[in-house]
Amino acid sequence: MTRTILTAATVSLLALQSAHAEFALDARYADADGDMIADIPTDAAQLSDPDTLVFAYTPVEDPAVYAEVWQEFLDHMAEVTGKQVQFFPVNSNAAQIEAMRAGRLHVAGFNTGSNPLAVACAGFRPFAMMAAEDGSFGYEMEIITHADSEIQEVEDIRGGQMAFTAETSNSGFKAPSALLQAEYDMVAGTDFEPVFSGAHDNSILGVANRDYPAAAIANSVKTRMIEREVVTEDQFRTLYTSETFPTTGYGVAHNLTPELQENIRRAFFDFEWSGTALEEEFSNSGESQFIEINFAETWSVVRQIDETMGVEYSCS
């Protein structure tokens, strides 16, 4: 049984009934223009112009695969910026955020759920997202089970185990947790046992291999894994499909020089996808270009889910 709910209106209503966590930047960042992202420092002493730019893509099970996928784009960025560009494999959202906060990461793609935390705590300035040729974008959260599972609908998870990815993930934790509580009166730790796999591909493989009876995942990751023949579509049954959410947001550390930030932006929007490994990989989920985004608007529904979950943007 597949259902599509969890609209922005639903989330807004839930937020009124839950502990609120007002979005705010960490005290080390300024937002004089009110666009909800950190301003570029006006003091030249606070600006950074590194010889080598470090880029990280959102954590995946096998970073080496994506190092190859991104290489042509990183070569293009090197040409546009005049900098060396290095791919930095990260194994967790927390490590990625901490690397940018500490100044070791300059350009990154943060997943949907960790995007607000990266903006608030690491001075991340998102400006781009992948989209289809017609400009459409996003993915859906799915709750999946193995095709041969005795679980026939979401309610059957009660009393059992369910896999999430990480607590910072939108589709891997926050959205399904809000859904399960609001629509099914099911709370992790009370009505079912939550386990954390660390990444969407880990959860998908876990269901395929029957390590997890059910999991909440981003269906764009599942689609790419099916296209790469890592798993097969007939291994899964979808119990629930959400509305469309924004996907990985790409951007820069706030303290890079304005000229460097502009050149990095240009590298994203000038990149020719045709015939590249990036096109081969992400066309599997219908993406073929970078489009400009506005964090305040594009991530509104995700911040509302954070409110629903009582998320605190703690930047320790």
The secondary structure element, H or E, covering residue 67 is helix 63-81
Q: Is residue 315 part of a domain?
A: no
Question: ∠ CA(196), CA(167), CA(171), 5° rounding?
Answer: 90
295 and 185 part of one domain: no
- Same structural domain, 22 and 166: no
Q: Are residues 167 and 252 in the same domain?
A: no
Residues 20 and 122 in one domain: yes
Q: Is the distance from CB of 300 to CB of 9 less than 8 angstroms?
A: no
The answer to whether 83 and 53 are in contact (CB under 8 A) is yes
314 inside domain: no
Domain shared by 16 and 131, yes or no: yes
Please state the domain count of the chain.
2
The pTM of this model reads 0.78
Q: Give the pLDDT score at 64.
A: 80
CATH code of 156's domain: 3.40.190.10
Question: Which pLDDT value is given to residue 310?
Answer: 79
CA separation for the pair 75, 89 (Å, rounded): 17
Residue 272 in any domain: the answer is yes
Domain boundary at 222, 245, 268, which? Answer: 245
**CA dist., res. 19 & res. 178, Å (int):** 12
- The one-letter amino acid code at 308 reads T
What is the spatial distance between Cα 126 and Cα 19, in angstroms, rounded to a whole number?
Answer: 27
In a domain, 6, yes or no: no
In a domain, 130, yes or no: yes
Residue type, 186: M
Tens-binned pLDDT, residue by residue, of the chain (316 aa): 333 333 333 333 233 333 445 789 999 999 999 999 999 999 999 999 999 999 999 987 677 889 999 999 999 999 999 999 999 999 888 999 999 999 999 999 999 989 999 999 999 999 999 999 999 998 899 999 999 999 999 999 999 999 999 988 888 998 899 889 888 999 999 999 999 999 999 999 999 999 999 999 999 899 999 999 999 999 999 999 988 889 999 999 999 999 999 999 999 999 999 999 999 999 988 999 999 999 999 998 888 888 877 777 778 6
Q: In what order do the strands lie in the sheet with 193-196?
A: 193-196, 161-164, 214-218, 139-146, 236-245
Nearest to 90 by CA among 57, 120, 116, 112: 57
179 vs 90: CA distance, rounded Å: 29
C-alpha to C-alpha distance for 142 and 222, rounded to whole angstroms = 10
Question: Which amino acid type is present at position 223?
Answer: T
Residues composing the chain: 316
In a shared domain, residues 105 and 234: no
Range of the structural domain that residue 165 is part of: 139-245
Distance of alpha carbon 45 from alpha carbon 48, whole angstroms: 8
**What pLDDT is recorded for position 173?**
94
> Does residue 132 lie in a domain region?
yes
- Regarding whether 252 and 130 lie in a shared domain, the answer is yes
pLDDT of residue 16: 32
CB 174 within 8 A of CB 309: yes
Q: Where are the beta strands (DSSP E) in 58-167?
A: 84-87, 107-110, 124-131, 139-146, 161-164
pLDDT for 22 equals 76
pLDDT for the residue 21: 54
Query: If we measure between CA atoms, which residue out of 252, 149, 172, 161 comes closest to residue 220?
Result: 172
Measured CA to CA, the distance from residue 149 to residue 84 in angstroms comes to 49
Residues 120 and 267 in one domain: yes
Q: How far apart are CA 309 and CA 179, in angstroms?
A: 10
CA distances from 112 to 15, 17, 101, 168, 169 (A): 19, 23, 18, 9, 7
Residues 41 and 172 both lie in one domain:
no
At 133 the pLDDT is 93
Q: Are residues 24 and 107 in the same domain?
A: yes
Q: Is 186 part of a structural domain of the chain?
A: yes
For 10, 121, 141, 254, the CA distances from 100, given in Å and listed in that order, are: 33, 9, 27, 9
pLDDT of residue 182: 85
Does one domain contain both 144 and 277? no
Q: Record the tokens describing residue 184, joined without a space.
A: 């099914």
Domain final residue, candidates 245, 273, 294: 245
Residue 1 lies in a domain: no
Point out the domain boundary residue: 221, 245, 269.
Answer: 245
Are 166 and 241 within one domain? yes
